[in-house]
């Protein structure tokens, strides 16, 4: 089977003229979510600015909240120098909570992050909840009356956003809040549009198209300030002091050489510095957040320790 035919069958490759390259980016979720966005945008820009000779193939590998992709990389592709994998705060959260069956962050090498995706709370267009406090009041009255869908597994970063909001608002029994974890933000929005859940918890980049189509309303963005170009009030301005942003970046197999690691880090930095990435951030509601190379590994180590502390506090892990 040719690369082009395989891409047509899977719907998972970027073509900007020519055939798919040997380089590949795994998006650990179905098409349409944040990891898919990361692979497709970064891969396209790497090609557009000349950092790679041919377009980067995108492979969607959903399952286990990213665990299937992580395990595949560790066990089957540990020395693949042509492989990059989309990562985010959700990845670090799952590793911190041992959600990947004993896998640990040091089994791969984290290349860097070049954008932060503010968390959002979304309801269907016809939802009776007009703002965040409406939703939280309902949760305070009956925590089990409001269900959320998110692109992370139960206990993952999307779930933690809801628990942080509920905790900050004084909801006492946060463990009674219902949460459905699905494979990616697009699937989570579908659950909410279909009336299976009352709210969606995800990231800004996952909802832009759905906002433009009018299928949903965003009632809160979990950032310090409103995202330019989007009239969405922050949780803080609605009296709920919660900020939760999802960094967007990459990891590579642990077994690659330092030269390969540094080469991918340089390519990622070039994307971060490009006008094309600045435009992509503006178009998709991302905030600047650039940490690349060895500094990013130090960031990951601290991040995982912080998530573990929060998860213990709210009873997600012991």
- Domains of the chain are 3-117+246-313 (3.40.190.150), 118-238 (3.40.190.10)
- What is the C-alpha to C-alpha distance for residues 309 and 246, in angstroms, rounded to an integer? 18
pLDDT of 19 above 60: no
pLDDT interval class at 146 (50, 70, 90): very high
Q: How confident is the model at residue 173 (pLDDT cuts 50, 70, 90)?
A: confident
First to last CA, the chain: 49
Given a cut of 70, whether residue 3 has pLDDT beyond it is: no
Residue 81: CB atoms within 10 Å: 18
Q: What is the mean pLDDT of residues 196-203?
A: 96
What mean pLDDT is predicted for residues 124-153? 95
Answer whether residue 28 shows pLDDT above 70.
yes
pLDDT at 310: 79
Q: What are phi and psi of 80, to 5 degrees?
A: -80, 105
Instruction: For residue 255, count other CB atoms closer than 10 A to its CB.
Output: 16
Give the pLDDT band of residue 178 (cuts 50, 70, 90). Answer: very high
Q: pLDDT tens across 208-248, in order?
A: 999 999 999 999 999 888 888 898 999 999 999 998 888 99
What is the reported pLDDT for 16? 36
CA-CA distances (angstroms) from residue 258 to 212, 295, 297?
Answer: 43, 15, 14
Cβ-in-10-Å burial (0-12, 13-18, 19+) of 83 comes to buried
pLDDT tens, position by position, 78-133: 999 999 999 999 899 999 999 999 999 999 999 999 998 899 999 999 999 999 99
Q: How far apart are CA 113 and CA 296, in angstroms?
A: 7
Mean per-residue pLDDT over the chain, rounded: 90
How many other C-beta atoms are found inside a 10 Å radius of the C-beta of residue 111? 26
Q: How far apart are CA 79 and CA 76, in angstroms?
A: 9
d(CA 163, CA 168): 8
Residue 20 has pLDDT above 50, yes or no: no
Q: Which long-range contacts (CB under 8 A, 24 or more apart) does 224-233 make?
A: 227/118, 227/285, 227/287, 228/282, 229/282, 229/285, 230/204, 230/285, 232/120, 233/131, 233/132
Query: What confidence category does residue 32 fall into, taking pLDDT thresholds of 50, 70 and 90?
Result: confident
C-alpha–C-alpha distance, residues 121 and 92, integer Å: 21
Residue 172 per-residue DSSP state: S
φ/ψ of 312, rounded to 5, equals -65, -40
What is the pTM (predicted TM-score) of this model?
A: 0.74
**Above 60 in pLDDT, residue 18?**
no
Angle between helix axes 132-141 and 157-169 (nearest 10 degrees) is 80
**Residue matched to tokens 């094309």:** 276
């Amino acid at each position: 089977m040719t690369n082009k035919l395989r891409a047509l069958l899977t719907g998972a490759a970027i073509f900007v003229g020519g055939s798919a390259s040997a380089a590949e980016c795994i998006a650990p979720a179905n098409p349409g979510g944040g990891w898919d966005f990361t692979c497709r945008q970064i891969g396209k820009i790497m090609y557009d600015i000349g950092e790679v000779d041919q377009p980067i193939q995108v492979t969607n590998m959903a399952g286990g909240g990213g665990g299937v992709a992580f395990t595949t990389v560790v066990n089957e592709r540990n020395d693949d120098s042509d492989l990059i994998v989309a990562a985010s705060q959700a990845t670090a959260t799952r590793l911190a909570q041992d959600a990947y069956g004993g896998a640990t962050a040091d089994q791969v090498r984290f290349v860097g992050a070049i954008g932060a995706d503010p968390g959002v709370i979304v309801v269907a267009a016809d939802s009776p909840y007009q703002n965040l406090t409406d939703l939280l009041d309902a949760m305070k009255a009956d925590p089990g009356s409001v269900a959320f869908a998110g692109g992370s597994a139960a206990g993952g970063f999307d779930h933690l956003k809801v628990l942080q909001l509920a905790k900050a608002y004084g909801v006492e029994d946060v463990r009674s809040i219902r949460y459905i974890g699905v494979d990616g933000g697009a699937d989570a929005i579908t659950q909410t549009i279909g009336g299976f859940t009352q709210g969606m918890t995800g990231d800004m980049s996952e909802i832009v198209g759905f906002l433009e189509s009018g299928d949903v309303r965003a009632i809160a963005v979990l950032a310090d300030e409103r995202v330019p170009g989007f009239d969405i009030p922050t949780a803080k301005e609605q009296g709920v002091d919660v900020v939760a942003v999802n960094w967007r970046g990459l990891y590579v197999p642990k077994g690659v050489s330092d030269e390969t690691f540094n080469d991918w880090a340089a390519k990622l930095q070039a994307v971060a510095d490009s006008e094309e990435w600045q435009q992509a951030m503006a178009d998709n509601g991302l905030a600047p957040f650039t940490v690349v190379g060895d500094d990013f590994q130090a960031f990951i180590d601290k991040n995982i320790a912080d998530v573990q502390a929060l998860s213990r506090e709210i009873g997600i892990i012991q």
